[in-house]
Amino acid sequence: MFSLVLTVPLALASGYERVEIPMDGGLLDGVMFRPAGTGPFPAVVALHGCGGLWREPGKLSLRHSDWGERLAATGFVVLMPDSYGSRGLGSQCGVKDLTVRAGRERTGDVAAARLFLQQRADVRPAAISLIGWSGGGSTVLNAVRKDKAPNDGKPDFRRAVTFYPGCRAQSETPSFAVRMPLLILMGADDDWTPVAPCSYLTRAAQMRGEAVELVTYPGAVHDFDHPRLGLKERENVAFSASGTGKVTVGTNPAARADALKRVESFLKAN
């Protein structure tokens, strides 16, 4: 799709830059974190959840800034496409009739982000992985399917990590199979995206010989990896497990600490 190889200045030691990602029909906004130096570096495409990329205009959400800075500090270029803001949308957590869907528009955003990174001189084209949270995690599950493998002649993603995705749709799809190592991280007490469908999906994948691992954290709920989110109840959520629109969210320090180390080790594995 693109033939121009981009040159880039020396990377910042911290912070992010705003970028525009070419895609069919226009441009996709995003933010990028880069390690210090010139590279080339491995990279990660990181996908936000239903709340979007920003906590307020001009202020990146704490989760995304925390993960972006941490991954960049360990040597990864981190690209975060803004699937909602690019389309003039705010939070979609209370929206049942989604117009930007995990299996369609957001999967297209993933493909555009991979191609964008592969044109950069500071990125190793064959060393790009995926990570996503909640709705972004559900997008990861769609993007790593064997029947969604890219046919553009460019290297595929290496590995994928998904935090508390909604697994029900994929677990009920007979054709679901993954084409790369996949790590699923969930809270055992998650009442927004329950563990059971992801557990079923993992067992089925492992029986087929696929490299899928599910890590479940006792006592943890949705958003357990957030840097500082007090345990609380959220209301007006479109797809709560109970059907009441109420869910529990909050940081779990032990689960977060393990996830930080586990994700870095997983992404750096050969």
d(CA 102, CA 96): 13
Which pLDDT band, with edges at 50, 70 and 90, does 8 fall under? very low
CB neighbourhood size of 62 (10 A): 13
Name the residue with tokens 């990181």. 46
Mean predicted confidence (pLDDT) in 31-41: 94
Cα Dmax for the chain = 51
Taking 50 as the threshold, does the pLDDT of residue 26 lie above it? Answer: yes
Q: Which residue has the higher pLDDT, 239 or 61?
A: 61
Taking 60 as the threshold, does the pLDDT of residue 1 lie above it? Answer: no
Using one digit for the tens of pLDDT, what is the confidence trace for 47-80?
A: 999 999 999 888 999 999 999 999 999 999 999 9
Q: Residues 6 or more apart from 184 whose CB is under 8 A from it?
A: 137, 161, 162, 165, 167, 198, 202, 212, 213, 214, 215
Report pLDDT for 14: 54
Tell me the CA distances in angstroms from 178 to 134, 149, 157, one per residue in order.
18, 10, 12
Name the residue with tokens 């055992």. 188
Domain boundaries defined on the chain:
17-221+254-268
User: Percentage of the chain with pLDDT > 90?
Assistant: 84
Beta strands 26-33 and 77-81 are antiparallel
Mean predicted confidence (pLDDT) in 118-126: 97
Taking 80 as the threshold, does the pLDDT of residue 10 lie above it? Answer: no
Would the CA dihedral through 237, 131, 73, 186 be positive or negative? positive
Taking 90 as the threshold, does the pLDDT of residue 158 lie above it? Answer: yes
Report pLDDT for 57: 85
Using one digit for the tens of pLDDT, what is the confidence trace for 182-225?
A: 999 999 999 999 999 999 999 999 999 999 999 999 999 999 99
Which ranges of the chain would DSSP assign to H, the alpha helix?
62-73, 105-118, 135-143, 168-171, 195-207, 253-268
Lowest mean pLDDT: which of 11-25, 29-43, 54-68, 120-134? 11-25
d(CA 132, CA 206): 21
CATH architecture of 17-221+254-268: 3-Layer(aba) Sandwich (3.40)
Among 176, 194, 179, 203, which residue's Cα sits nearest to residue 103?
176
Report pLDDT for 197: 95
